[in-house]
């Protein structure tokens, strides 16, 4: 290895690209919306957040309507989802009165946007999940986990290698493979990743956050609802990609100017759930989840007396959320709770 060259583990490289205090993608600008780099479901239609509100209140009722409950938005983006949810909750005074709204946000830039948007509401911002008090907690993770840095491992000629980034003295970047001992890595994280796999993608930070959340939802006291793009097959794939201005871009180019992301493997999340002695209540598509909660009926009510153009806009946005060729099947929804809870709302089989 040339002394002028440097090797950086993939997850550390992604962390720098996304969260470097000065130049990180999420730290210096607002990537959301048509003028940004990508658009998320809450920015497509208020119907999405309204359905999450319906689901959250149903879950609170399942917990026998506790007098105090924390609603934690993990990575709130531009704050649109929690803004719309709080407005919906106001129609249910008993529930609204019981809520403390909490946002877990890493980016000071996005925090400013959120604070401005949510200034008329009582919201608490935290930078560490341990700040969430034990008690009744509902964590909502909409496109949160896909923004966390990952490691990648590949099995080549019966040997495992880890993917690193090589930086030369001119700061040119290239992928390199480094031999690794997969058993050592599995021992460190506490479970086997490599069985029947040729590719492994996993996020150490996801594991850390899930452990922390698991402590807050034990003993029948809460839930983690994950909405993210991902897949259900047990065989892992290479899904690493970068997105800039709504288009796929090169991972190693546009450092700090593009979002680096990946598709969640929900089978791996299920495995982690079991190890943490929690229960996966179900995994379904975003389409099924929203239809089960009544999004089509809500669209009908909203559009009833509107002129055609506004009605068409509501249904165009609804289609983006639930169409199988758009977000409907690409996004999955997963509910994790304590083992003693049984709650299937939104996850009923069609």
Going from N- to C-terminal start, the domains of the chain cover 6-295+330-338
Percent of residues, the chain, with pLDDT higher than 70: 95
Q: In angstroms, rounded to a whole number, what is the distance separating the alpha carbons of residues 224 and 210?
A: 9
pLDDT at 253: 84
pLDDT exceeds 90 at position 200: yes
Which of 25-29, 167-171, 293-297 is the most confident on average?
A: 293-297
Question: What integer is the mean pLDDT of 152-171?
Answer: 92
CA angle 90, 285, 42 (to 5 degrees): 35
In this prediction, residues 208-228 reach a mean pLDDT of 93
Confidence of residue 348 (pLDDT cuts 50, 70, 90): confident
- Domain made up of 6-295+330-338: CATH architecture: 3-Layer(aba) Sandwich (3.40)
What confidence tier does 349 reach under pLDDT thresholds 50, 70, 90?
A: low
CB 155 within 8 A of CB 197: yes
Res. 90: pLDDT tops 70: yes
Per-residue pLDDT, 37? 54
pTM of the full predicted structure?
A: 0.93
- Model confidence pLDDT, tens digit, residues 295-339: 999 999 888 888 899 999 998 899 999 999 898 899 999 999 999
pLDDT of residue 285 exceeding 60: yes
User: In angstroms, rounded to a whole number, what is the distance separating the alpha carbons of residues 25 and 15?
Assistant: 10
More confident residue, 220 or 209: 209
Q: Which of 321, 210, 309, 337 is nearest to 264 (CA)?
A: 210
Minimal CA–CA distance to 349: which of 283, 273, 260? 283
| DSSP H stretches of helix in the chain | 10-19, 41-44, 46-62, 80-89, 93-98, 108-117, 182-189, 204-217, 266-275, 286-292, 295-303, 308-322, 327-330
Mean pLDDT for 54-78 is: 96
Q: How far is CA 343 from CA 55, 59, 346, in A?
A: 11, 8, 9
- Give the whole-number percent of the chain exceeding pLDDT 90: 71
What does the pLDDT read at residue 168? 85
Instruction: Convert 229-291 into a string of H (helix), E (strand) and C (coil).
Output: EEECCCCCCCCCEEEECCEEECCCCCCCCCEEECCEEHHHHHHHHHHCCEEEEEEEEHHHHHH
Residue 249 or residue 141, greater confidence: 141
- How high does pLDDT run on average in the chain? 91
State residue 103 phi and psi, 5-degree precision: -120, 130
Q: pLDDT value at position 35?
A: 60
Question: Quick one: which of 267, 203, 201, 248 has its CA closest to 38?
Answer: 248
């Amino acid at each position: 290895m040339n002394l002028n060259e440097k090797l950086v583990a993939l997850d550390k490289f992604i962390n720098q690209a996304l969260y470097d205090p000065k130049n990180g993608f999420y730290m210096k600008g607002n990537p959301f919306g048509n003028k940004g780099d990508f658009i998320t479901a809450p920015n497509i239609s208020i119907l999405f957040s309204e359905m999450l509100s319906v689901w959250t209140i149903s879950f609170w009722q399942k917990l026998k309507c506790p007098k105090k409950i924390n609603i934690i938005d993990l990575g709130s983006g531009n704050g649109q989802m929690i803004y719309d949810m709080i407005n919906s909750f106001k129609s249910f005074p008993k529930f609204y009165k019981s809520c403390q709204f909490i946002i877990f946000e890493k980016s000071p830039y996005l925090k400013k946007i959120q604070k401005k948007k949510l200034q008329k509401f009582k919201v608490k911002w935290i930078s560490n999940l341990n700040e969430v008090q034990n008690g009744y907690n509902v964590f909502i993770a909409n496109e949160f986990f896909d923004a966390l840095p990952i490691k990648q491992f590949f099995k080549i000629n019966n040997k495992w290698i880890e993917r690193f980034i090589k930086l030369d003295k001119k700061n040119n970047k290239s992928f390199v493979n480094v031999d690794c001992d997969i058993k050592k890595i599995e021992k460190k994280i506490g479970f086997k990743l490599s069985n029947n796999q040729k590719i492994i993608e996993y996020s150490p930070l996801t594991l850390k956050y899930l452990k922390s959340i698991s402590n807050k939802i034990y003993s029948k006291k809460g839930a983690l609802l994950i909405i993210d793009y991902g897949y259900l097959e047990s065989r892992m794939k290479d899904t690493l990609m970068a997105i800039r201005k709504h288009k796929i871009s090169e991972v190693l180019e546009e450092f700090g100017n593009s979002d680096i992301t990946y598709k969640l493997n929900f089978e791996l999340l299920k495995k982690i759930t079991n190890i943490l002695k929690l229960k996966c209540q179900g995994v379904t598509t975003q389409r099924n989840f929203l239809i089960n909660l009544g999004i089509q009926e809500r669209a009908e009510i909203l559009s009833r007396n509107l002129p055609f153009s506004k009605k068409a806009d509501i249904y165009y946005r609804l289609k983006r959320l639930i169409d199988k060729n758009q977000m409907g099947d690409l996004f999955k929804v997963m509910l994790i709770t304590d083992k003693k809870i049984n709650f299937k709302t939104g996850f009923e089989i069609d």
